Structure 1
Amino acid sequence: MAKPKNAFYAQSGGVTAVINASAAGVIETARKHKDRIGRVYAGRNGIIGALTEDLIDTSRESAKAVAALRHTPGGAFGSCRYKLKSLEENRAQYERLIEVFQAHDIGYFFYNGGGDSADTCHKVSQLSKKMGYPVQAIHVPKTVDNDLPLTDTCPGFGSVAKYVAVSTREAALDVKSMSRTSTKVFILEVMGRHAGWIAAAAGLAGENPGDPPHVILLPEVTFDQEAFLKKVRQTVEKYDYCVVVVSEGTRNPDGSFLAEAGTKDAFGHSQLGGVGPFIAQMVKDKLGYKYHWAVADYLQRSARHIASKTDADQAYAVGKAAVEYAIKGDNAVMVTIERSSDKPYRWKLGKANLSRVANHEKTLPKRFITRDGFGITAQARRYLAPLIKGEDYPPYKNGLPDYVTLKNVAVKKKLKTDFDI
């Protein structure tokens, strides 16, 4: 019987509160199938670890440490924003990947990330075969933006949704208590470049008419300054305060972002940030209201202490399923979550061909947005509500979450050449 091939696992893009749960799912499941999968190597800083032959031997981690990944945020092995170009543009990248995979007897590739990592995973699955060393590539979904197609939700989103909804409700109570003599408008800026799922989730904070957030600004709805200011003014006049949640990807009528830095990230996306203070200053200049603003930024995607249990369970499940699909012979697929019922919430796992996933984005459906463009509908609530359900607190020590730090022992290099990225 042939010696089982090793596996390569890597994390990509912005990390989440539960991405390490997916890592635990991959590693623990692979350990149960040693007859089919040898060692699991992790890429230090994502796919860059493969290109530079900087691999981590996860077999050096104890079962207890791997299990603790389920409740530890961040990327345990390091992540990156690095998108492989096409074979025609940079053949050397792919030749290097195959060289590293061959040197370490790697036959399985589990890439844990969003849309760009799905594209990378697809390219590796297709081109490795052409280059004479086939690698089974399975995409493990992860993105706080919830914008991957063909899956009901994306691991990482439910916990961000919960954090944003809770933060909106708590901040609103603060603002309301001071509105008579102080702040009238509070603005919370959240992530979401092209899809407004995170901003929409803030709408769960309000359950009755008049509850905050009173205004949600979404990338799917063109920003109308006159209508926005009118809504804010009317809200303050009626309730004495107004809470606004704005997505970083909110756009002007000409399609440009309200707050675009003019620079690009490693994936070629426009760098965003600053729409919160931009909106706040507009409120001050046009309406004269005292304001406060906040940017959720990394806090929203790293808050494991308030993670959704549904999200944590799904994150682990997609990692586990990725290994099981690979063992069955699947290739070039992404693990998907399929919803069968809202109440009670029921879901199962499936798979989708990466050719239908890569370079496609799922935006907020029109039916999820109220007619005035400033809120979410009952349909949106039915979709969002189950995703934030349940508490899954990490263990605490001396009043703080007790997270694990792995040893991350390097695998001895076998190649004589280095590779510049």
Structure 2
Amino acid sequence: MVKKNAFYAQSGGVSAVINASACGLIETARQYSSSIGKVYAGRNGIIGALMENLIDTSQESDDAIRALRHTPGGAFGSCRYKLKRLEGNKDEYERLIRVFKAHDIGYFFYNGGGDSQDTAYKVSQIGDRLGYPVVCIGIPKTIDNDLAVTDNSPGFGSVAKYVAVSVREAALDVLSMALTSTKVFILEVMGRHAGWIAAASGLAAMQAGDAPHIILFPEIPFNEDQFLRKVNSSVKDYGYCVIVASEGVRNEVGQFLSAMSAQQDAFGHAQLGGLAPFLAQIVKEKLGYKYHWAVSDYLQRSARHIASQVDVEQAYQVGKAAVELAVKGENAVMPIIIRTSQDPYRWEIGSTALKNVANVEKKLPQNFITQEGFGITQAAHSYLAPLIDGEDYPPYKHGLPVYVQLKNIPVEKKLKETFILT
């Protein structure tokens, strides 16, 4: 086997554990130095390849790479940039292959969600067509937990833990003051089309009457009358009401409640935001209760200080498995997590073809949502609970976590032509 270099890129919204996958990949690639040369990382994701802005990870010490395991964010930079359709739009793909060829890159590892796996799949096809085959391996990552085939997605378990802990703690705060102050608290969480993160908040409840009293899922159309009746009954029965709302909640005709005009993100998705204050205004106008609201936003996906131990380990293992699959000669595949036992919880790493996960969304099953549509069932609890188990604290100094910042030394460019993003 002729030794080739590897290219690794992080894609989309980052997580508390995406760097753990990078750690697993780079450490394992160093162990397979007879098959894999240098590991180059894309500065700001796939854009780094298009612009020939590569980072030489071989310039980083073993200690620095090891520290990625407990460092949140994207160590090499990420991006929201989706390559155009392959048919009739070959320029971007041909550019990737030219960059790969110039830097003797024979392995492409793409760490991201469904859109990213679609890109990796397309690159695996175009390489063959252009006479420069590239081994393309996807690495699963999404806090939304909406990747198909894999039991769960690295990044989700830590967000689930953060949201469940935050709801339990905030509920105690609200309950303490509910008699004379705030009676309704609304937490808005991420989740455009799938309510996995919102569902995880249900783990906070230990017994009937505990928060959250209402969970709003994208899978269940929002009904204002039913919502207000539930808020009112919760306040009457328990003295307060805690609501967790997924940003992707829609009305009965399928419109996002929180869509901001006609704005779109880089993937062409509607730009969401403002659901919590929207719901709070309804509560104020119709019920008159004093309220507070919060948006967990980036806090939920960057909270490495309270990451799930299971999530950290799974993130590391899919990065490790990506290299092992590539060295074995696998191509156009993605390592997946397989749940082999529920009680006790056990899992292992398998793999699936990229075409099985590219652009496929896994939504919250109906049997995970209670009949009234405002809570989670025991089936959901059984699925979710193991994913938030255990703590994996980063090192601390002077009361703050210690995170690594890589040198990110650039690789010298070899192509004369530049590439303009459109």
State the one-letter code of the partner of 2:392.
D
Deviations 1:129-157 (A, max 9, x none): 11111100000000000000000000000
Q: In the alignment, what sits opposite 2:251?
A: 252
- Secondary structure of 1:282's match? helix
**TM-superposed deviation, 1:93:** 0.5
**TM-superposed deviation, 1:307:** 0.1
**TM-superposed deviation, 1:87:** 2.3
Q: In the alignment, what sits opposite 2:300?
A: 300
- Secondary structure of 1:403's match? coil
Deviations 1:255-293 (A, max 9, x none): 000010121100000000100110011100110000000
Task: State the alpha-carbon separation in 2 of the partners of residues 118 and 294 from structure 1.
Answer: 32
Q: In the alignment, what sits opposite 2:96?
A: 97
Matches within 5 A, 1:275-286: 275-286=275-286
**TM-superposed deviation, 1:45:** 0.3
Q: In the alignment, what sits opposite 1:47?
A: 46
5+ residue gaps, structure 2, are none
The answer to whether residue 294 in structure 2 is matched with residue 324 in structure 1 is no
**TM-superposed deviation, 1:394:** 0.1
Q: In the alignment, what sits opposite 1:220?
A: 219
Q: In the alignment, what sits opposite 2:409?
A: 409
Q: In the alignment, what sits opposite 1:180?
A: 179
Matches within 5 A, 1:380-419: 380-419=380-419
Task: State the alpha-carbon separation in 2 of the partners of residues 254 and 297 from structure 1.
Answer: 26
Task: State the alpha-carbon separation in 1 of the partners of residues 207 and 294 from structure 2.
Answer: 24
Task: State the alpha-carbon separation in 1 of the partners of residues 364 and 93 from structure 2.
Answer: 35
Task: State the alpha-carbon separation in 2 of the partners of residues 134 and 190 from structure 1.
Answer: 41
Matches within 5 A, 1:1-400: 2=2, 4-261=3-260, 262-400=262-400
Task: State the alpha-carbon separation in 2 of the partners of residues 385 and 101 from structure 1.
Answer: 42
What is the TM-score normalised by the length of structure 2? Answer: 0.99
- Secondary structure of 1:220's match? coil
Task: State the alpha-carbon separation in 1 of the partners of residues 327 and 150 from structure 2.
Answer: 22
Task: State the alpha-carbon separation in 2 of the partners of residues 228 and 342 from structure 1.
Answer: 34
State the one-letter code of the partner of 2:50.
L
What is the TM-score normalised by the length of structure 1? Answer: 0.99
Deviations 1:284-320 (A, max 9, x none): 0110000000000000000000000000000000000
State the one-letter code of the partner of 1:123.
K
State the one-letter code of the partner of 1:342.
Q
State the one-letter code of the partner of 2:257.
L
Deviations 1:144-193 (A, max 9, x none): 00000000000000000000000000000000000000000000000000
Task: State the alpha-carbon separation in 1 of the partners of residues 193 and 113 from structure 2.
Answer: 14
State the one-letter code of the partner of 1:417.
E
**TM-superposed deviation, 1:90:** 2.1
State the one-letter code of the partner of 2:146.
D
State the one-letter code of the partner of 2:387.
L
- Secondary structure of 2:117's match? helix
**TM-superposed deviation, 1:334:** 1.0
State the one-letter code of the partner of 1:174.
D
Q: Percent identity?
A: 70
State the one-letter code of the partner of 1:6.
N
State the one-letter code of the partner of 2:68.
L
Task: State the alpha-carbon separation in 1 of the partners of residues 342 and 224 from structure 2.
Answer: 36
Task: State the alpha-carbon separation in 1 of the partners of residues 85 and 366 from structure 2.
Answer: 34
> How large is the Cα RMSD of the aligned pairs?
0.6
- Secondary structure of 1:6's match? strand
- Secondary structure of 2:163's match? helix
Task: State the alpha-carbon separation in 1 of the partners of residues 59 and 292 from structure 2.
Answer: 48
Task: State the alpha-carbon separation in 2 of the partners of residues 381 and 207 from structure 1.
Answer: 11
Aligned length: 420
State the one-letter code of the partner of 1:55.
L
- Secondary structure of 1:334's match? strand
Deviations 1:52-96 (A, max 9, x none): 000000000000000000000000000000111122342111111
Instruction: Answer with 80-89 or 35-44: which moved more.
Output: 80-89
Instruction: Answer with 89-98 or 58-67: which moved more.
Output: 89-98
**TM-superposed deviation, 1:371:** 0.3
Moved over 4 A (4+): none
Task: State the alpha-carbon separation in 2 of the partners of residues 171 and 23 from structure 1.
Answer: 33
**TM-superposed deviation, 1:341:** 1.2
- Secondary structure of 1:175's match? helix
